[in-house]
Structure 1
Amino acid sequence: MKKTLPPSLINPDHVDFPLLDALARDITKRAGGADALAESFPTMLRRCIDDVIMTPKTGRRSYDELEKTEKTYIGTRVEIELRALLRLSKGRLDTVILGHDVDIKNTMGSNWMIPTEAVGHPCLLVAADEARATCYLGLIVARPEYLTAGQNKDAKKSVSATGFGHILWLLCHHPYPANFWRTVPPDTITRIFAGTTGNQRMATLFRAVQGLPITRDVVEAVAQQQDFMRRIRSDKGRGTRDHLAEEGILLLSGHYDAPLIKALNLPPCAGSEFISYQPVTQAEADLAIRTGAPLCWPPRQGAMDL
């Protein structure tokens, strides 16, 4: 998305205010409130993108690696998921809100392509900026004067520079879960995937990336094994958790170890996420050991050899 967006001109005196304000209120209500929308929308958007990248199955780690048809499908997926999130029905365009036909447009770039059939109708605008890990959700009435003069071969037009000022934003420059692999230095990624076994790759992952929740999909992609969850658990001294414990590193589950994660002041983890952490004080180590977490303290020398 554009780095700089003009201030929204949508106010009670604006010609589109009554319609856009009513639509925005209904969308927010359907989402369960403003806070719920701010939480559920970014998560939905991240899932739509990651499910198409399919890192565990394809080995791809970014949107840029997708085929053109896959990038197009993300827009369709977002439309379907957004309707489900807001409990909206299909309409003559993409959906119907308060009796109005509404088109849903998604972009991973800096603008949206508005089809001729949506001109004159309200559009629900969705955008994800992978580089900045920000997302956007807005409403605009696609009036001709808000669109560019030029069009593509399908007669679709974009929102003009001045047209951006006529968007009512529900979420703007809003954080959303970053693509995990964008947060990891390239040399670290190389080290992770240099491992010849699933245990080696996962141990390198959790050794190198500590204090950060890591999703099940990332673990599956790194393990490259069908029974990857077995490797992440204690497995009679053979699992990734066992090897890291000998190095003095905790490998915690958001589902089973939530109290310990909170006690160590680590970022909250969803039930399907994992986080690693090496205690820095005896008190932290004692706390972990008291909860039953496997941990060798002080770490055994030479324990990094799997």
Structure 2
Amino acid sequence: MDDDFELQRVWSWLVARPLTVQLTRAVDDAVKYVLDGARTGRFDLLSPEVDSDERASVGTKLQYRVLNELGLYKEPPLDTRILDIPVELKATIRSNWMIPTEGQCEVSVLIQVDVARRRHRAFLMRVHRVWLNDGANKDKKRGIAADALAQFSLPLIGWTSLPPEPLTLLTEAQLSVVFAPRVGQTARLASLFGFLPDTVIPRSSIETVCFGNKDPMRRARQAKDAILAVSGLEVLVGTWRADRLRAAELGFDLGVDSWVAVSPSRAHEWIDIPPTHLQIEWGPQTPGPAS
């Protein structure tokens, strides 16, 4: 590998970037695109509602998201070029990658997604034919020999967790309530926040719970007062700066599109913590209206 200058140049280019963040974002986006939760109500690739062809399509969707994250373009003769070196992009949700004939003996970025454990990892390797398994499928694609991967690949990122999906924390009984048919969005969201207090919930999960409906975020905002009155949960919205700051004081990082329903016990617990422990590094702040 040391004398493969193209491989070394591509590896140096890749690891100089915030690759863990970029690939994690790309994988998460590809999985959510396939699930299409806002239209289908699905949030788990292993669900029986997701067929095998859809799961397999994650690799195809992921290729374009990786290109976008890395600022690369689809360029022949393979999938892209890095420093004018042709590079193949291969992703799998299984235990191996199937390398097409045009990608054999070429520099390849290999991404593996472990759906069950919600994690991913990546390697860089020149996939010489002698390092591929003997058997080929009907398209003449061949898998990579396990010992060759261990010996001749360069690690890009080790096993890295994907962003959590809070809906997977719900029991079957709770899911039946949250996704009950013929129930309004406000009632569904009230159940969701009630079952998952003190849990950061991304926008995508809220859209999944309200699948098929218009403007679920407005419904979620409308539910704030009702949830507070019924359960005492203080719902904070990342879209609003005042809520983000309040959430940060309570130990939650909402970003700009996540939500959290704070339980009274959590709020009271943090009141007793000395102010120096509540300092959050937001950077310089200028007075202005809440966003």
- TM-score of the pair, normalised by structure 2: 0.83
Q: Choose the corresponding residue for 1:60, options 34, 38, 42.
A: 42
Q: Choose the corresponding residue for 1:216, options 203, 206, 209.
A: 203
> What letter corresponds to residue 83 of structure 2 in structure 1?
L
The CA distance in 2 between the partners of 1:259 and 1:37, in whole Å, is: 29
Alpha-carbon distance, 1:185 to partner: 2.6
Alpha-carbon distance, 1:98 to partner: 1.9
Aligned to 2:55: 71
Alpha-carbon distance, 1:18 to partner: 4.0
Q: Choose the corresponding residue for 2:97, options 109, 112, 115.
A: 112
Alpha-carbon distance, 1:278 to partner: 0.6
Aligned to 1:184: 170
Spell out, residue by residue over 1:54-94, the C-alpha distance to the aligned partner (whole angstroms, 9 max, x if none): 11212333223334443343222211111111112222110
Spell out, residue by residue over 1:187-241, the C-alpha distance to the aligned partner (whole angstroms, 9 max, x if none): 22122123722111100101111222212121122124212122111xxxxx321
Aligned to 1:8: none
The CA distance in 2 between the partners of 1:213 and 1:190, in whole Å, is: 21
The CA distance in 2 between the partners of 1:259 and 1:44, in whole Å, is: 28
The CA distance in 2 between the partners of 1:174 and 1:203, in whole Å, is: 32
Pair 1:281–1:70, CA change in 2 (3 A): closer
Alpha-carbon distance, 1:135 to partner: 0.9
Aligned to 1:24: 11
What is the 5 A alignment of 1:80-229? 80-89=64-73, 90-165=75-150, 166-194=152-180, 196-224=183-211, 225-229=213-217
Pair 1:47–1:180, CA change in 2 (3 A): farther
Pair 1:178–1:160, CA change in 2 (3 A): farther
| Identity among equivalent pairs (%) | 25
| Count of residue pairs brought into register by the alignment | 263
Q: Does 181-190 or 197-206 show the bigger shift?
A: 181-190
Pair 1:138–1:255, CA change in 2 (3 A): same
Is the CA contact 1:130–1:178 (under 8 Å) kept in the aligned structure 2?
Answer: no
The CA distance in 2 between the partners of 1:85 and 1:117, in whole Å, is: 24
- TM-score of the pair, normalised by structure 1: 0.79
Unaligned runs of 5+ in 2: 273-291
Aligned to 1:51: 33
The CA distance in 1 between the partners of 2:123 and 2:201, in whole Å, is: 30
The CA distance in 1 between the partners of 2:245 and 2:123, in whole Å, is: 38
The CA distance in 2 between the partners of 1:269 and 1:159, in whole Å, is: 41
Alpha-carbon distance, 1:178 to partner: 3.5
Is the CA contact 1:133–1:179 (under 8 Å) kept in the aligned structure 2?
Answer: no
The CA distance in 2 between the partners of 1:134 and 1:187, in whole Å, is: 27
The CA distance in 2 between the partners of 1:272 and 1:281, in whole Å, is: 21
Aligned to 2:236: 252
> What letter corresponds to residue 251 of structure 1 in structure 2?
V
The CA distance in 2 between the partners of 1:168 and 1:285, in whole Å, is: 45
SS in 1 for 2:265: coil
The CA distance in 2 between the partners of 1:38 and 1:19, in whole Å, is: 22
Pair 1:193–1:97, CA change in 2 (3 A): same
Pair 1:20–1:281, CA change in 2 (3 A): closer
Aligned to 2:286: none
The CA distance in 2 between the partners of 1:70 and 1:172, in whole Å, is: 26
